């Protein structure tokens, strides 16, 4: 299992980014959470197999919503992320 924390910047709020990210996560069997941040970015905690995580990261970088635009993604592996049992959109 790979546990990843991501901060996504660009046009990622107000464009359906969190909900499309959830759809992608559900398709790839990724568990975790996605939330808007006060600075306009989106934070993601994700847990899944290495192959699924690679595909998930690629989809996030490409923006899962056509009206969004990702300009930067900070990705950090974090073994301390909890073992989520589903993928949730918060705030």
List active site positions. Answer: 18, 36
Dist CA 54 CA 62 (whole Å): 12
Task: Write the DSSP assignment of 6-55 as a string of letters.
Answer: EEEEEE-SSSSHHHHHHHHHHHHT-EEEEEE-TTS-EEEEEEE-HHHHHH
Residue 87 corresponds to which tokens in the numbers above?
Answer: 């993928």
Selection from 58, 66, 53, 61 nearest residue 9 by Cα: 61
């Amino acid at each position: 299992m790979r546990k990843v924390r991501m901060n996504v910047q660009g046009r990622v709020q107000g464009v359906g980014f969190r909900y499309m990210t959830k759809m992608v996560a559900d398709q790839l069997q990724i568990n975790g959470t996605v939330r808007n941040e006060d600075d306009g970015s989106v934070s993601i905690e994700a847990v899944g197999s290495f192959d699924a995580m690679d595909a998930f990261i690629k989809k996030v970088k490409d923006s899962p919503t056509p009206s969004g635009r990702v300009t930067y993604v900070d990705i950090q592996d974090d073994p301390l992320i909890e073992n989520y049992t589903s993928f949730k959109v918060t705030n």
